[in-house]
Amino acid sequence: MIHSLFLINASGDIFLEKHWKSVVSRSVCDYFFEAQERASEAENVPPVIPTPHHYLLSVYRHKIFFVAVIQSEVPPLFVIEFLHRVVDTFQDYFGSTNVGDQLPTGQLSVVPWRRTGVKYTNNEAYFDVIEEIDAIIDKSGSTITAEIQGVIDACVKLTGMPDLTLSFMNPRLLDDVSFHPCVRFKRWESERILSFIPPDGNFRLLSYHVSAQNLVAIPVYIKHNISFRDSSSLGRFEITVGPKQTMGKTVEGVMVTSQMPKGVLNMTLTPSQGTHIFDPVTKLLSWDVGKINPQKLPSLKGSVSLQAGTSKPDENPTINLQFKIQQLAISGLKVNRLDMYGEKYKPFKGIKYMTKAGKFQVRT
């Protein structure tokens, strides 16, 4: 399994190391640095790098490489998934103020994922149904592919050992699901009910995929007119964002980003609302739009200055879109009821819905 772990920051310093077996010299990371150099970008560093005596398996998160040193055959996903879990734990741990001073007790509870003796004065259980739309929209505005991924994130603060069931109005919508280990698979199989003893605090209860038969409503559209002319060193750039199928809700938190071709020197743009930035070094344009007002559609217009003397770029940039719609699960999924067994008190229950853009791309 994992022999050693090195943490490497953005400037290439190994700032933390941990060895579970004998000590592996940090010089083993030189192989990693070589690969990093070849890859040019952090995200293109191969997650698995063979070296003469070891294998380096790494994940890249929060601008930090977590490099695990392996000496023999092991399923690579085992290590990668584990490293991600480690990062998640770090995130939880450093994010919260209460740093545990006790020996771990969790694993010795009757239920491995829940400690015993949990007590709250206010007993509450909140569930967030969050759906993300992954889509690729082509030049003409038609949808090439669109799908909905959803998760139910829970924040459960309940005394004792509560046993919950959560049922849906329309469970058939859920096509592919993956559960937190607390969910009883058999109940789901037979009754389509989520039955579980929850972990204490925040956790992801369920991830799901909405079946492909259902057409996916696309809540926004983008009108674009981007052209680079061969004759002059100037190009035109114009995009407008508008609401499409929003079920009467407001689209907010809209953010447009686009990677411009290398030949673009600068952009002179005027937004009708929000703020925009063009980074001439990375050639990344980002426009923080905010809310979409259907009466007055937000737009960003202006000119693009191109490197003089070179021909116009072959490629057109792709536009990436982010947005949020509160109080709406775009798939139409609805929670029917939440019941608690095993404890006597009356908990406070709450369900929230939200729709977000996942990987939402418009090709131009």
Q: Which of residues 65-124 bind another protein (CB under 8 A)?
A: 70-78, 80-82, 84, 101, 103-104, 107-108, 110-112
Site string for another protein, 249-278 (x = CB under 8 A): ----------x-xx----------------
Measured over all CA atoms, what is the biggest interatomic distance in the chain, rounded to whole angstroms? 78
Listed residue (351, 237, 325, 213) closest to 285, CA to CA: 237
CB of 289 to another protein, least distance (A): 19
Residues 314-333 that bind another protein (CB under 8 A): 314-316, 318, 320
Residues 143-162 that bind another protein (CB under 8 A): 144-145, 147, 149
Q: Binder to another protein among 14, 86, 222, 338 (CB under 8 A)?
A: 14
Give the residue with the Cβ less far from another protein, 73 or 308. Answer: 73
**SS3 category, 47:** coil
Candidates 40-48, 152-160, 301-309, 346-354: pick the segment binding another protein (CB under 8 A).
Answer: 40-48
Report which secondary-structure segment, H or E, holds 279: strand 275-279
CB of 59 to another protein, least distance (A): 5
Query: Using an 8 Å Cβ cutoff, are 338 and 166 in contact?
Result: yes
Q: Bridge-partner residues for 168, per DSSP?
A: 335
CB of 148 to another protein, least distance (A): 11
Residues 190-209 that bind another protein (CB under 8 A): 196-197, 204, 207, 209
Q: How many residues bind another protein, per CB under 8 A?
A: 91
Sheet holding 14-19, edge to edge: 14-19, 2-8, 64-70, 55-61, 48-50
Candidates 41-49, 221-229, 240-248, 298-306: pick the segment binding another protein (CB under 8 A).
Answer: 41-49
Give the residue with the Cβ less far from another protein, 311 or 326. Answer: 311
Q: Binder to another protein among 10, 16, 169, 247 (CB under 8 A)?
A: 16
CA-to-CA distance for 176 and 171, rounded, in angstroms?
11
Give the residue with the Cβ less far from another protein, 182 or 304. Answer: 182
CB of 179 to another protein, least distance (A): 6
Candidates 49-57, 221-229, 271-279, 293-301: pick the segment binding another protein (CB under 8 A).
Answer: 49-57
CB of 110 to another protein, least distance (A): 5
Classify strands 234-243 and 220-228 as parallel, antiparallel or unpaired: antiparallel
**SS3 category, 364:** coil
CB of 76 to another protein, least distance (A): 5
Q: Does 182 bind another protein (CB under 8 A)?
A: yes
CA-to-CA distance for 341 and 125, rounded, in angstroms?
13
Q: Does 186 bind another protein (CB under 8 A)?
A: yes
Give the residue with the Cβ less far from another protein, 68 or 335. Answer: 68
Give the residue with the Cβ less far from another protein, 147 or 243. Answer: 147
CB of 81 to another protein, least distance (A): 4
Classify strands 201-210 and 275-279 as parallel, antiparallel or unpaired: unpaired
Instruction: Write the DSSP symbol of residue 183.
Output: B
Residues with Cβ within 8 Å of 202's Cβ and at least 6 positions away in sequence, in order, are 153, 154, 155
Q: Binder to another protein among 36, 58, 299, 355 (CB under 8 A)?
A: 58
Core vs surface per residue 133-170: b (16+ CB within 10 A) or e: bebebeeeeeeeebbbbbbbbbebbbbbbbebbbebee
Provide the token pair at 302. Answer: 């202006």
CA-to-CA distance for 188 and 195, rounded, in angstroms?
8
CA-to-CA distance for 358 and 209, rounded, in angstroms?
13
Give the residue with the Cβ less far from another protein, 203 or 221. Answer: 203
Q: Does 177 bind another protein (CB under 8 A)?
A: yes
Query: Using an 8 Å Cβ cutoff, are 233 and 305 in contact?
Result: yes
